[in-house]
């Protein structure tokens, strides 16, 4: 056979690391995975060809960008969870033949499926879950077929919901997946067989309307979680139990940190201790900003809609914005700080000698989140961003991004957080040229690789104006949270003519970085409350010491002690109630103060305090000055 003929029978696959390899035509992703290694093949859930998720047995008939999906990846999780949703529908229709399945997507923490059927109870869930486990154990293959739409309508003629979806689907053909006797209209992909799902747990049942419209039929929505292995499920359920104990909404009430009111949904009210905690976070970052050459500004809450049209927010972010009217003109309650900061930069000309110019703002922003998504401090409508916008020359990109990586890492280290990073590239709805996006993306990649940092790529998940590096911290019970971000922006500088005067005396276009470390201070506080289970380290705790009097005659000595502690910057509460010492110690433990001081006759006579920790370790009698010195040192060292 000629060399050309052989080439026509081969495909070239490009792997995520940029390497390439040739394979025979029609090879499947599973065969490629086996060629790479048995472990990868064992972990494989699905694959991606040119960015599109496919089944592992899909023939590869052209040169493609290729990636194996495992449960470690977001896409891999979605495939396994969606497959579990099909198993759920299979189990329900076996047990309740009159039930009509509608839709069953994967969601962030698991999956759900909506059914038109009788109301369900917890006993029903247990029965359905047992049936799901039977189907998983049977190891039934997921089979994909492509059929004409007319045939699909005929197949599902007894299910009006499926017929409606099929008729709306574009094209003349649709895909059907089946496992055993169960068939579903679905684009896929799915795991190879039901046994690959491993372990499932049904969590709850709730009401839902068809297509979210209250005018339509009410359905039964069953939620569940799925994992490749039983141990992963057990670990997840244990994490949920631990998370429930640490729920920041519950602890926020008990520790008197913040409150939520129906008069301001999604807009937290900070109580004195909560505001103290928030201010400590701001003070920490402000101190680090000064060391790193930042200046700080504050911009208005409400700005003309013309500004947001120019920035592109009116085209790409309008649904998340609040509007108001002033003297007949439309204004926007700012959802972001950057356009206001740009106005400040453009007030005067800047020289290359000023760059990089690092401008910080602790700005309050408002975003129109759906009421159903609001959750304590984790998802709010009003929050404070620890924003900074950095204006620089193109040749300064690598140095500035690497400095930011170090800055963010240094802050997270103080709280004991490990983190990983993800690089998000251009989304479908975005502004700017391909050239600008490529330059910005390569700039972030260059800095990450210069720092020798491992990173994951999230294709199409960037901001509408630029690519970004997101920092995901891991808390005490293993959950990850996206907090900090570095966004490299060449588009706003173009839209707003953000320039500097170069060495040659001519104007040159700036490169702009948007960055946060905490992200939302409110959300970061919620994470910290749960991370520490309310037991904040001394330097961070808004309630560091509780003083207890043994009897009424010791109240004056307690007041003097409180004053002395406060003069040294220690945050104190004196509990002088007419209660037993034991009762007051118990209440102090519930408030999670780091230290509890008992003042009685002996302490007054000796000029001492009897100290104990919140973990009930009795430190015994200490001279007041020695105790203050101990606390000040502990605060300074941020232990």
- Residues paired with 54 in a beta bridge: 47
Contact 188, 55 (CB under 8 A): yes
3-class SS at 542? coil
- The bridge status of strand 468-474 relative to strand 418-424 is antiparallel
Separation of CA 517 from chain center = 13
The conformation of residue 263, written as its DSSP 8-state character, comes to T
Q: Is position 313 annotated as part of the catalytic site?
A: no
Q: 213 an active-site residue?
A: no
HSE toward the beta carbon, residue 389, CA cutoff 13 A: 25
Going by the DSSP 8-state scheme, the letter that residue 60 receives in this structure is B
> Catalytic: 338?
yes
What is the bridge-based pairing of β-strands 507-509 and 572-575?
unpaired
Beta-carbon count within 10 A of 579 CB: 13
Catalytic residue among 81, 162, 334, 468: 468
The secondary element (H helix, E strand) that includes residue 634 is helix 624-637
Minimal CA–CA distance to 394: which of 506, 513, 487, 484?
A: 513
Contact between residue 13 and residue 21 where contact means Cβ atoms under 8 Å apart: yes
DSSP conformation letters of 545-588: EEEEESSGGGHHHHHHHHHHHHHTT--EEEE--SS-HHHHHHHH
User: Looking at 514, 515, 523, 584, which residue is catalytic?
Assistant: 514
Mark whether 586 is an active-site residue.
no
Residue 367 among the catalytic residues: yes
Neighbouring residues of 178: CB distance < 8 A, sequence distance ≥ 6:
142, 143, 145, 184
Report in angstroms the alpha-carbon separations of 564 from 291, 547, 627: 31, 12, 11
The secondary structure of 308-361 as a DSSP string is HHHHTHHHHSGGG-EEEEETTEEEEE-S-SHHHHHHHHTTS--BGGG-SEEEEE
CB neighbour list of residue 96: distance below 8 Å, 6 or more residues apart: 115, 117, 118
| Residue from 55, 114, 386, 387 carrying the catalytic annotation | 387
Burial of residue 422, with CB atoms counted within 10 A of its CB: 0-12 exposed, 13-18 middle, 19 or more buried: middle
**Cβ distance 638 to 414 under 8 Å?**
yes
Query: What is the helix (H) or strand (E) element at residue 602, kind and residue range?
Result: helix 601-606
149 within 8 A of 142, measured Cβ to Cβ = no
Backbone dihedral region for residue 463 (phi beyond 0: left; psi -120 to 50: alpha; all else: beta): beta
Length of the chain: 639
DSSP H helices, 74-180, are: 74-95, 122-137, 149-155, 160-168
Q: Per the residue annotation, which of 190, 196, 221, 367 is the catalytic one?
A: 367
Instruction: Kindly state the tokens that stand for 394.
Output: 């193109």
487 is catalytic: no
Is there a catalytic annotation at residue 389? yes
Measured CA to CA, the distance from residue 227 to residue 236 in angstroms comes to 9
**Catalytic residue among 144, 220, 273, 338, which?**
338
User: Which of 192, 220, 385, 544 is an active site residue?
Assistant: 385
Distance CA 40, CA 59 (A): 18
- For residues 201 and 233, the answer to whether their CB atoms sit within 8 Å is yes
Set 246, 334, 389, 523: catalytic member: 389
Residue 63 C-beta-side C-alpha neighbours within 13 Å? 7
Q: Which residues are catalytic?
A: 338, 367, 385, 387, 389, 468, 514
């Amino acid at each position: 056979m000629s060399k050309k003929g052989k080439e026509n029978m081969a495909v070239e696959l490009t792997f995520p690391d940029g390497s390439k390899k040739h394979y025979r035509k029609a090879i499947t992703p599973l065969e490629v995975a086996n060629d790479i290694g048995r472990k990868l093949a064992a972990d494989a859930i699905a694959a991606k060809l040119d960015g599109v998720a496919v089944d592992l047995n899909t023939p590869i008939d052209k040169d493609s960008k290729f990636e194996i999906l495992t449960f470690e990846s977001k896409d891999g999780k979605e495939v396994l969870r969606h497959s579990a949703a099909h198993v759920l529908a299979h189990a329900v229709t076996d047990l309740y033949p009159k039930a009509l399945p509608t839709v069953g997507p994967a969601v962030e923490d698991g999956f759900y499926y909506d059914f038109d059927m009788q109301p369900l109870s917890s006993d029903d869930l247990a029965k359905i879950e047992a049936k799901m486990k039977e189907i998983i154990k049977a190891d039934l293959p997921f089979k994909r077929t492509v059929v004409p739409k007319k045939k699909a309508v005929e197949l599902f003629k007894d299910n009006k919901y499926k017929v409606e979806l099929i008729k709306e689907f574009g094209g003349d053909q649709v895909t059907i997946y089946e496992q055993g006797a169960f068939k579903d209209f679905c684009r896929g992909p799915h795991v190879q067989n039901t046994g690959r799902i491993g372990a499932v747990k049904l969590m709850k049942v709730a009401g839902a309307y068809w297509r979210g419209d209250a005018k339509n039929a009410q359905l039964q929505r069953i939620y569940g979680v799925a994992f490749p292995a039983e141990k992963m499920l057990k670990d997840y359920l244990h994490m949920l139990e631990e998370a429930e104990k640490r729920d920041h909404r519950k602890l926020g009430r008990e520790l008197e940190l913040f409150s939520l009111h129906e008069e301001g949904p999604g807009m937290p009210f900070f109580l004195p201790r909560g505001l103290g905690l928030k201010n400590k976070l701001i003070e920490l970052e402000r101190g680090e900003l000064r060391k790193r050459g930042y200046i700080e500004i504050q911009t208005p809450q409400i700005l003309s809609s013309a500004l947001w049209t120019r920035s592109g927010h009116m085209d790409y972010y309008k649904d998340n914005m609040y509007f108001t009217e002033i003297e007949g003109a439309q204004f926007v309650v700012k959802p972001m700080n950057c356009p206001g900061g740009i106005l400040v930069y453009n007030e005067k000309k800047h020289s290359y000698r000023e760059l990089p110019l690092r401008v910080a703002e602790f700005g309050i922003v408002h975003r129109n989140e759906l009421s159903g998504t609001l959750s304590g401090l984790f998802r709010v409508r009003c929050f404070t961003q620890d924003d900074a916008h950095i204006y620089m020359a193109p040749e300064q990109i690598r140095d500035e991004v690497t400095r930011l990586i170090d800055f963010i890492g240094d802050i997270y280290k103080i709280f004991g957080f490990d983190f990983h990073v993800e690089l998000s590239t251009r989304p479908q709805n975005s502004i700017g040229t391909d050239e600008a996006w490529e330059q910005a993306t390569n700039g972030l990649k260059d800095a990450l690789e210069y720092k020798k940092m491992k990173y994951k790529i999230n294709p199409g998940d960037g901001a509408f104006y630029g690519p970004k590096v997101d920092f995901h911290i891991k808390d005490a019970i293993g959950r990850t949270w996206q907090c900090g971000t570095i966004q490299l922006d060449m588009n706003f500088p173009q839209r707003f003519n953000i320039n500097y005067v170069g060495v040659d005396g001519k104007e040159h276009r700036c490169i702009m970085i948007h960055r946060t470390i905490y992200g939302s201070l409110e959300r970061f506080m919620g994470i910290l409350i749960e991370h520490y289970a309310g037991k904040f380290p001394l330097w961070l705790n808004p309630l560091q010491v509780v003083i207890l009097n043994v009897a009424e005659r010791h109240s004056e000595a307690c007041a003097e002690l409180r004053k002395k502690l406060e003069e040294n910057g220690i945050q104190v509460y004196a509990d002088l109630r007419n209660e037993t010492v034991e009762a007051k110690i118990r209440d102090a433990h519930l408030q999670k103060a780091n230290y509890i001081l008992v003042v009685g006759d002996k302490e007054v006579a000796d000029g001492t305090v009897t100290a104990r920790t919140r973990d009930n370790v009795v430190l015994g009698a200490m001279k007041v000055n020695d105790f203050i010195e101990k606390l000040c040192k502990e605060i300074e060292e941020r232990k």
